[in-house]
């Protein structure tokens, strides 16, 4: 007489599994769901590119201002709208080689436009110009004929700098980087100040 317990397993001829029709049905439902959500996701990622580019440019303005104060040299944030790039470097009239100079490419879905340039500085100076803007116009920068935001060692933004930058996405949405009234910093906004 056996003392151990004997267990036997019976395997059914019909094991539960997905049929081909069930798999095709699930795949078609997933395809329909992706088709409805893809445009919304594309708009989401385009909006993120615009927001990311605006924040990167804003942080570069903070870095330029910080470097100008800490190093005691004017810093220039140059803006190449045609070449879709911008960068930060020390004013070349004070320092010939800036080892901390940076250059960034603008995202292909974002367009940069410089607004509210000082007309006196663009034309190369005029009567009533400050001595600071005459110095700015005469510097021998590698990016001399591009619009520039110039950060002074006292922490202010020069009079020759643009007051507003516009970043526009492919979908028509735009963000503005505006200079504050006290000329100490730029901020991101959706609409121009009245």
Query: pTM of the full predicted structure?
Result: 0.65
Contact present, 106 and 52 (Cβ < 8 Å): no
Q: What is the pLDDT of residue 116?
A: 73
Q: What is the pLDDT of residue 23?
A: 92
The residues, ordered by sequence, that sit 6+ positions from 131 with a Cβ below 8 Å of its Cβ are none
The pLDDT mean for the chain works out to: 79
Confidence of residue 33 (pLDDT cuts 50, 70, 90): very high
Domain range summary for the chain, segments of one domain joined by +:
20-189
Q: Is it the case that residue 68 has pLDDT exceeding 70?
A: yes
Q: What is the pLDDT of residue 165?
A: 92
CB atoms within 10 A of CB 164: 17
Residue of 9 and 21 predicted with greater confidence? 21
**Three-state secondary structure readout of the chain:** CCCCCCCCCCCCCCCCCCCHHHHHHHHHHHHHHHHHHHHHHHHHHHHHHHHHHHHHHHHHHHHHHHHHHHHCCCEEEEEECCCCEEEEEECCCCCCCCCCCEEEECCCCEEEEEECCCHHHHCCCCCCCCHHHHHHHHCCCCCCCCCEEEECCCCCECCCCCCEEEEEECCCCEEEEEECCCCCCEEEECCCCC
CA gap 65, 40 in Å, rounded: 38
CA Rg value for the chain: 29
Contact present, 50 and 173 (Cβ < 8 Å): yes
> Domain 20-189 has what CATH class?
alpha beta
Residue of 133 and 107 predicted with greater confidence? 107
Percent of the chain residues topping a pLDDT of 90: 31
């Amino acid at each position: 007489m056996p003392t151990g317990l004997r267990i036997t397993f019976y395997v059914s001829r019909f094991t539960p599994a997905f049929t081909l029709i069930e798999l095709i049905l699930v795949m078609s439902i997933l395809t329909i769901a992706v088709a409805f959500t893809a445009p919304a996701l594309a708009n989401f990622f385009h909006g993120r590119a615009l927001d990311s580019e605006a924040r990167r440019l804003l942080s570069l303005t903070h870095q330029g201002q910080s470097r100008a104060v800490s190093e005691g040299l004017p810093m220039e944030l140059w803006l190449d709208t045609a070449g879709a790039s911008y960068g930060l470097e020390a004013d070349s009239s004070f320092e010939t080689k800036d080892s901390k100079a940076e250059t960034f490419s603008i995202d292909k879905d974002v367009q940069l436009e410089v607004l509210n340039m000082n007309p006196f500085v663009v034309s190369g100076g005029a009567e009533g110009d400050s001595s600071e803007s005459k110095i700015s116009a005469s510097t021998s920068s590698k990016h001399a004929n591009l619009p520039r935001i110039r950060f002074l060692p006292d922490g202010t933004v020069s009079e020759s700098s643009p007051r507003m930058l516009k970043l526009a996405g492919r979908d028509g949405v735009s963000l503005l980087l505006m200079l504050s009234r006290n000329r100490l910093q730029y901020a991101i906004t959706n609409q121009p100040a009245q």
